[in-house]
Amino acid sequence: MMTTTLRIALILVSLGTFAMIMRKIRQSRMQIESAIFWIVLALVLVVYSVFPKVADACAGLLGIYATTNFLFLFAIFVLILKVFFMSIHISQLESKIKELVQVMALEEKKYEEEKR
């Protein structure tokens, strides 16, 4: 069972996260594709805090006695997933950068040869 304090804290954190993400999108500092993850996470936390029976049921399905333990496990799992997908994205970007550097080097060499 979630305490009222925990429920209020979850709602405040979720709404704060949602507001911050929307502000970053409006300032063009974050793409909508990247923000979707955080918006969905904030909405899930709001659902868990407004309807604590949902979090209790999820905890029960996983065999977790305390709902707060489930919330911590959920947060850790979601953040690990986010880090994993960010690592994949970074690897893809590094490959693209490497390819672009090689193309630029070839173009520069070609330009230097034509200049002579």
pLDDT tens for the chain, 116 residues long, are 788 999 999 999 999 999 999 999 999 888 888 899 999 999 999 999 999 999 999 999 999 999 999 999 999 999 999 999 999 999 999 999 999 999 999 999 999 999 87
How far is residue 103's CA from residue 109's CA, in Å, rounded to a whole number? 10
Mapping DSSP to helix (H, G, I), strand (E, B) and coil, where does residue 102 land? helix
* Predicted pLDDT of residue 34: 86
Domain segments of the chain as ranges: 4-85
What would the two tokens of residue 100 be? 């672009």
How far is residue 11's CA from residue 29's CA, in Å, rounded to a whole number? 25
Q: What is the pTM of this model?
A: 0.79
| DSSP conformation class of 29 | S
